[in-house]
Amino acid sequence: MNKVFIKSLSKRIVTSIITLFLLVSFLFVLTRLSPGDPTQKYLSAEFSPELKEKVTASFKLDQPIFNQYINFVANIFKGNFGISYGYRQPVLSVVWQFLSFTLVFATLSFLLQIIVSSFLAFKSIRNKGKLFDRSVLNISLIVYAIPAFVLGLSLIYIFSIQLDLFPSSGLRSLDFESNSFFGKIGDYIYHLSLPLITLSLAGIALFYKYLRESLEDVYQQNFILNLKASGYDQSTILKKHVLPNAVRPLLSIAGIELGILLGGALITEVIFSLPGMGRLMMDSIFARDYPLVIGCALTAGVLMIASNFLADMIKMKLDKRLIKGLIN
Amino acid sequence: MLVIFWILILVFRMKFLYNLIQLWEKYFLLLTNDLQKAIQLLDSQLLDVLISITLFILIPALFLFFRKKLKFLSININFSLAVLLTLLLAFVFAPIITDENPEFQKDLRMTKLLPPFSKVKVLHLKAGDISNSSAAEKFIAFKNQIVKQSYANNIIFIDNIKRKPDKIIYLQKEKSGELDLNRVQLKNNKSIVTNKSFILGTDEFGRDIFTRLVYGVRISILVGLGSVVVSLLIGLSLGFIAGTRGGIIDIIFSRLTDLFLAFPIIYLIILILAMFGNSLLTVIIVLGLSGWMSLFKIVKSEVLSVKNKDYITSAVMMGLPKMTILTKEILPVIMIPIIVNVIFQFSNVILAESALSYLGLGTGNSYPSWGAMIESGQQYITKAWWMILFPGIILIFTLFSANNLGKNLNKANISVMH
């Protein structure tokens, strides 16, 4: 058992690394192929061609593309992703500044999604066919169809403009530094409530749908009927027999969802002007900050693969039969 | 449903339809008299109008003719199907549903950011004299009367007018202007003032939001269908090759899918659009390129599961060509999962297109797009909620209906299989 596990684990790690490497190379080629000049943002060629050449040389963009690629690959294996053109800092430290926010934000949103959706799903499976179940089911279908930017703007309109309850953008108040520790946390929560709702609602609807469907499926199986007939109480059946079976399809979705969240919630960050990975990525694309683009993409890729992997591990914990399937 | 649409249009747009038919007639006359000139005149707008009026007349006639063969039309219509059908009708008949131009703007002072259901008075001016000009020029004048351009010289939006013996003074908010009597259309010696209503209000350039929404359907459906076709082509062919050949090709394609799935695809789309420029065509292609992975997986696994069935083996033994086996034996089996996937893909693409337009990376400014409308509404969110609400609602309805349709089809498919 253990041997199989280690074998498939190492195989998976190797394929992940290859995939990431291919991804980075693909992006490298794409950025170098694209028209447009990264130095243009800082100085115009019309004023001083020599200075422009100097800057281009300092970005190492004057060398042939093949040499650039060799350099790039060598540096990546050393863990060096270069220096961001715009921030004038190592890429990894720039990414880290923005990643810390995204990690917190994504985790909060993910927890919110899981907790709310499972609460709703359990409640509606208990009241199956009743008004609560039907209304939540229908509302979830509609909520799932609301694009993030429509939802975010509606929330801003209702809560920030009409009711004046929450701020419409930013992460901190002006008097943030004067607050105590708990005051600071309160301020963050105050600023993050609308973005969290915007980011989480669609996920809640999705998780709710999957969880409710699989709960319903499992409850209809014969072995549950057998357990009920044998006189087990409801909570034991739910905890020991229904949940492990019902949660499996949810886990795959959750892994993908977490990966996407960790890669940055672009639209939400743009609407509420929050400093996250999504906006960093987009800004670096628009500024043609090539090292930063690749750094961000790699981070997003690593997080995506890691969260999928995490989901698979949990699935495997629940069902030992899946160990061989870990490879794919 | 379709009948209701036709009746509604007939009731509300009777006069406009009559005018359009006249336009068709005149254009036909021009075509017979002066072919070259007629072809010169044929711009996209005129073509659009002529095609939609032709279809508008032809389709009911065809339906009456082939009534017996079109039994599929009598299926039950639920909400989501009705929404999608309406979108399709708006896609084809946009110039008939609304007789305005989506880019029409005039007298910004009067028409900017009007709330829904507002009415503005219109003063009609005299058009240029066309009594003694050539047939082509007459046709142009007639066309410009009916097919609205993005600018109109012969109307003025006003608050109020005062009649003086020899001139007319009109008020536009705080500004006033005067006009000679001989420039204004007169009827019983009174100037003609009508009301123009903006059902869903206007945007920051005084453009009618309803019209822009109707024309915005075109972008959404065009991008949706176009990129679905692109990803269908890629996914189907790669999946089929990987499924039948296996081996190294399968491994390469699977790695490629992993590559595309290994990081949030929206960034790849933004990267390509930002670096290589965004236009309608690039948006369609890039969205199509970013959505083929799930199709590839479905086709590959279905082909693998079907490949070793007896009837395929016998088809191969019989020496049928590969294309025949694909189209006659394999495609019908995997059709429904593919259609379900394509519908979900369609709604994803519409969502992605509007998100891209919202981020300013959409299909450009030559066509109105829902996402771009919402983006421009964001700046006026304190003053003009209708600029966000209506495109938002339409977007939600569209996505909801597409998702629902896909879900129902999937359910039907699963219950058939069991």
ipTM given for this complex = 0.85
Q: Any chain B CB within 8 A of the CB of A18?
A: yes
| The pLDDT of residue A116 | 93
Chain A partners of B300 at a C-beta cutoff of 8 Å? none
Helix (H/G/I), strand (E/B), else coil: A206: helix
Chain B within 8 Å of A226 (Cβ-Cβ)? no
pLDDT at A74: 83
The pLDDT value recorded for residue B226 is 93
Residue A60: DSSP 8-state: T
Return d(Cα A209, Cα A113) in angstroms, integer.
12
Contacts 24+ apart (CB under 8 A), B227-230: B227/B283, B227/B284, B227/B285, B227/B286, B227/B287, B227/B288, B227/B291, B227/B349, B228/B288, B228/B291, B228/B342, B228/B345, B228/B346, B228/B349, B229/B288, B230/B284, B230/B285, B230/B287, B230/B288, B230/B289, B230/B292
Contact B106, B151 (CB under 8 A): yes
Query: What gap in Å lies between CA A272 and CA A274, rounded to an integer?
Result: 6
Q: Do A293 and B271 touch (CB under 8 A)?
A: yes
Does residue A163 lie in a domain region? yes
- For residue A167, what are the contacts with CB-CB under 8 A and spacing of at least 6? A160, A173, A190, A191, A194
Domains and CATH numbers, chain B: 2-75 (no CATH), 118-198 (no CATH), 209-417 (1.10.3720.10)
Q: Provide, as residue numbers in chain A, all residues whose Cβ is less than 8 Å from the Cβ of B378.
A: 153
Q: Do B262 and A301 touch (CB under 8 A)?
A: yes
Residues 23-42 of A with CB under 8 A from B: 23, 26-27, 30-31, 34-36
Neighbours of A34 (CB within 10 A): 16
For residue A135, the domain's CATH number is: 1.10.3720.10
The tokens 């010169």 sit on which residue?
Answer: B40
Average pLDDT, chain B: 82
Task: Determine contact, residues A172/A274, Cβ cutoff 8 Å.
Answer: no
Query: What are the Cα distances from residue B388, in Å, to A149, A273, B93, B361?
Result: 10, 19, 24, 18
Query: Is B345 at the interface with chain A, CB within 8 A?
Result: no
> Which positions in chain A touch B396 (Cβ < 8 Å)?
142, 145-147, 150
Give the residue-averaged pLDDT of A73-90.
81
Query: Which of B274, B358, B392 has the CB atom closest to A286's CB atom?
Result: B274
Closest to B213 in 3D by CA, of B345, B378, B386, B362:
B386
Mean pLDDT of successive 10-residue segments in chain B (418 residues)? 77 80 81 79 80 84 76 71 88 84 80 83 73 70 75 79 78 78 75 82 86 89 92 89 82 83 83 84 89 87 81 82 78 83 90 89 80 88 87 92 88 74
Nearest to B224 by CA among B90, B402, B44: B402
Stretch 231-260 of chain A: residues touching chain B, C-beta under 8 Å: 259-260
What does the pLDDT read at residue A328?
Answer: 45
Q: Is A304 on the interface with B (CB under 8 A)?
A: yes
Mutate to test the interface with A, among B254, B260, B263, B271 (most CBs of A within 10 A): B263
CA distance B134 to B249: 66
Q: Residue B397: closest CA among chain A residues belongs to which residue?
A: A145
- Nearest CA among A296, A298, A283, A292 for reference residue A85: A292
Does B371 lie at the interface with A, CB-CB under 8 angstroms? yes
Please give the tally of structural domains in chain A. 1
List the Cα angle B9/B101/B124 in 5-degree steps: 95
Contacts of B263 in chain A (CB under 8 A): 23, 263, 297, 300-301, 304
Paired tokens of B173:
């908010």
pLDDT at B129: 61
Phi and psi of B118, rounded to 5°? -90, 155
* B154 three-state secondary structure: coil
Cβ separation A264–B395 shorter than 8 A: no
Quote the crossing angle between the two packed helices A2-33 and A65-77, to the nearest 10°. Answer: 150
What was the pLDDT predicted at A160?
A: 87
Q: Quote the DSSP letter at residue B129.
A: P
- DSSP-H helix ranges across B194-279: 209-245, 247-261, 265-276
User: What does the alpha-carbon distance between residue A235 and residue B70 come to, in Å, rounded to a whole number?
Assistant: 55
Probe site for chain A from B253, B266, B267, B386 (most A CB atoms < 10 A) = B267
The boundaries of the domain holding residue A139 are 2-35+81-327
- Residue B197's SS3 state is strand
Nearest to A121 by CA among A236, A197, A196, A216: A216
Mean pLDDT of the residues in chain A? 83
Q: How many CB atoms lie within 10 A of CB B338?
A: 19
Q: Is residue A257 part of a domain?
A: yes
Helix H segments across B98-208?
Answer: 108-111, 135-146
pLDDT for the residue numbered A324: 58
User: Closest partner residue to A153 among B263, B275, B378, by Cβ?
Assistant: B378
Establish if A65 belongs to a structural domain: no
Write the residue in B270, B374, B396 that is nearest to A146 by C-beta: B396
B403 near A CB under 8 A: yes
Q: Does B346 touch chain A (CB under 8 A)?
A: no
Q: For the whole model, what pTM was predicted?
A: 0.86
* pLDDT top residue among A49 and B87: B87
The number of angstroms, rounded, from the C-alpha of A28 to the middle of its chain's C-alpha atoms is: 23
Whole-number pLDDT of residue A111: 93
